[in-house]
Amino acid sequence: MVVEATPLEQLFTRTKSENRAALIGYLPAGFPTIEGSALVIAAMIDGGVDAIEIGFPYSDPVMDGPVIQDAADLALKNGTGAADVFELLASTTKLGVPAVIMTYWNPIERYGVDAFAEALKKAGGSGAITPDLTIEESSRWASAAEQSEINRIYVVAPSTSESRMPLVTSQCSGFIYAASLMGVTGTRNAVSGDAQSLVARIRSTSTLPIAVGLGVSTEGQAREVAQYADGVIVGSAFIREVQESATIEEACARVKELAKQLAHGVRR
């Protein structure tokens, strides 16, 4: 159990008092370059993003669509490793926003479970999202996270059964990640109709904040999701702005503008 409220928990308390959803931006560490990822994250924050989700680049990202896969591949080609991920996490939290790491289990296990949790905490991170870690296989991570007083964030999907839902949500802290559809990450023309019903199902089992990810890319979609969720997660849309830019300066300008639009959406 987390003894003191993490920065992430404090954020959701604040946004609830402001009667709005939190805007969470995602970016893989090392994309478009190791130095450039810090600049892009700063642009997100300047545009109004409330919290940052830093992706740990991985060679087999089963939950990620082509946009994020391409970004992670480039990050790996740039030589991004654990030290770079934690350095980016530290520089992000120094900007005054909560930050978490999104990582598959393999990098945690290779780094050392206890050491990973300790390094995350030392860098000022609030916790980790572990999309491929099941609660049945979580005992080592649960112990390490509790020891380091960081949040454990699991992913639930429309396919999560009624009997399994409370088992998963009871193991979460910080927030619960609601994957709005069955499939991989990516921008879409509309948010899945399953998202709102999934949030309702989660609320019947937990009082934790719920953040919706997968598919949000426009101000209108952010506004729609913010009407029923506590957080709106945007990743592929930010990455695409960077991928379509000729320079890091252009990328940061485009990212900041998108962040402003999305921030306006969650505040309306």
pLDDT: is 63 or 179 the higher one? 179
Q: Using one digit for the tens of pLDDT, what is the confidence trace for 116-137?
A: 999 999 999 999 999 999 999 9
* Tally of CA atoms within 13 A in the half-sphere of 104 that contains its CB: 12
- Sorted by where each begins, the domain ranges of the chain are 7-267
Q: Using one digit for the tens of pLDDT, what is the confidence trace for 172-200?
A: 999 999 997 544 444 444 455 688 999 99
Q: Which residues have a catalytic role annotated?
A: 53, 64
pLDDT of residue 194: 81
pLDDT of residue 131: 92
Q: Using one digit for the tens of pLDDT, what is the confidence trace for 15-54?
A: 999 999 999 999 999 999 999 999 999 999 999 999 999 9
Q: Is the pLDDT of residue 224 over 50?
A: yes
Q: Is the pLDDT of residue 251 over 70?
A: yes
First to last CA, the chain: 34
Q: Distance between CA 27 and CA 45 in Å, rounded?
A: 12
Q: What are phi and psi of 213, to 5 degrees?
A: -130, 175
Centroid of chain to Cα 85: 14
Q: Encoding tokens for residue 4?
A: 């003191």
Q: Distance between CA 85 and CA 89 in Å, rounded?
A: 6
- Among the residue ranges 26-40, 64-78, 141-155, the one predicted with the least confidence is 64-78
pLDDT > 90: percent of the chain: 85
User: What kind of fold does domain 7-267 have according to CATH?
Assistant: TIM Barrel (3.20.20)
* Closest listed residue to residue 240, CA positions, set 2, 73, 27: 27
Three-class DSSP category at 124: coil
Q: What is the mean pLDDT of the chain?
A: 93
pLDDT of residue 191: 55
Confidence of residue 65 (pLDDT cuts 50, 70, 90): confident
